[in-house]
Structure 1
Amino acid sequence: MSVTQPQLSDARLSLEGRVATLTLDRHDVRNALTGTALVDDIVAVADWVNACDAVSVLVITGAGSAFSAGGNVKDMAQRGGDFAGDVAEVAERYRRGIQRIPLALQGVEVPIIAAVNGPAIGAGFDLANMADLRIASHKAKFGETFLNLGIIPGDGGAWFLQRLIGYQRAFELTLSGRVIDADQAREYGIVLEVTEPEALMARVGELAGHIAAQPPKATRLTKRLMKMGGRMELPDFLDLCATFQGMCHNEPEHLDAVNAMLEKMAKK
């Protein structure tokens, strides 16, 4: 089903060859997620991707020098914007604001690749960790820096980071608040690959294109299985696999893929 692209305020969206690219476009504030319309833009794109059969991969990147600086520190200093009010007001603003991002991205049915072009700090780091894959430029830096400002990862970052690299390493990064470079992030397993800055989008495009060339319905089901595998007991999971496999065997794309492989084998 083809669905009209959403109208975005602070980001740009393109679709080419089944790969959708969302570019955070508030480089004037280093793509901060608070004090901008980026929360609404990200959530709108997540909903659109799920409804649009023409999309098989979502790439998220940043315009300018940063991937995302996370929260707007100037607003924090002034107790303004998303950070104004008493405990109940701030909590409600988080629920209606930045916490919509992890819920939306966790529900995206296609693979998400974060192309981390520059610093990903605080909530920006957490945004990158909400993707399935991360490819970073050598200019990227990563930091779970909330405690340095006397706050906690209010956007769910502590949930994502420990599942990505394990509790002990995630605990150390979160409690120290230290910033690491792209090579160290690769060593820790945060990013899959590190590229030269000028090669980042080409490499992400190559990876995204390869995934997007896979049968699209089976790709969505495979991601769903990967997400559910971490929270289900094996017998229940295998029941789900059997059902999903039955669905795949009855899809035309399965027969197309099998015939294409037989033709390729016949040519050898």
Structure 2
Amino acid sequence: MPSLTLSHVTKYSYRQPVAFGEHRIMVRPRESYDQRLIDTQLTITPEPAEVRWLHDVFGNAVAIATFDKRAKDLVIDSRVRLDHSPAELQNVDIERYARFYPFTYSSEDMPDLLRSIERQHHDPLRQIDSWARRFVAPGGQTDTLAMLSEMTAAIKREFTYVQRPEKGTQSPIETLARRKGTCRDYAMLMIEAVRALGFAARFVSGYVYNPTRRESRTGGGSTHAWVRVYIPGSGWVEFDPTNGIVGNRGLIRVAIARDIYQAVPVSGTWSGFPGSFLDMTVSVDITVDEDETVLQHPSLTA
């Protein structure tokens, strides 16, 4: 069980002191059977007038900070120590009725999965549908896990990963046409593709690290993005199309949502003279304590 030390620092800089509105901060990893928080610290400068915590509709931990001081810089510094027990591919167990595609979710699960099956992006020419269907065996049953694993591997194999510091995400159709994108673009493409096949899928935001010196991971920035698909028997299973892997080895979950816009790490407002904003910088450092492997991503969200 690797023990990790994680630092995530976000800094906003301004030409002159500005006033800060409410800020919503979602950088605390989720507690689960496979990741256990040992210690967490959230330091905000200038000191907020109030910080309150809540769980959103997906159970993500969110800090809400309000301010009564003006300043030229806003620094949000999150420090976390956690134990991480990643799930391996061979541990994915599937109910007999769902081992081959197509299948239908049970009547007990379907009411709670419907919103995660709904498509989020228009596809008038059914381009995403056609691309997703290439992974389905013609005229017969398709192994469910093998199909999802191959789709994950195909995105890594056939698309070119590029970093894009600007905010926003390509539409799945744009990613399919351009054959390149960021981790968040890949995640949204795969989510729409598996939803086109009738699967429930969710967007995951978190951190990526190298589990050992022999392994490497692509992606990152301030956060990494991947996909969760609901598979009867194992529940929500992680698929990382950027790295072509199944399971959460090297992946630390922070936020889970139906859509990417529900999983923004930091959001908020400020008021002051026009043109006051200078820049935003993000630095993420993850240390694997057992072998002192370090991964650093000093950039914006990929």
**TM-score interval, smaller chain:** under 0.3
How does the TM-score come out when normalised to structure 1?
A: 0.28
Whose strand fraction is larger, Structure 1's or Structure 2's?
Answer: 2
How does the TM-score come out when normalised to structure 2?
A: 0.25
Q: Which has the higher contact order (CA 8 A, sep 6+)?
A: 2
Whose helix fraction is larger, Structure 1's or Structure 2's?
Answer: 1
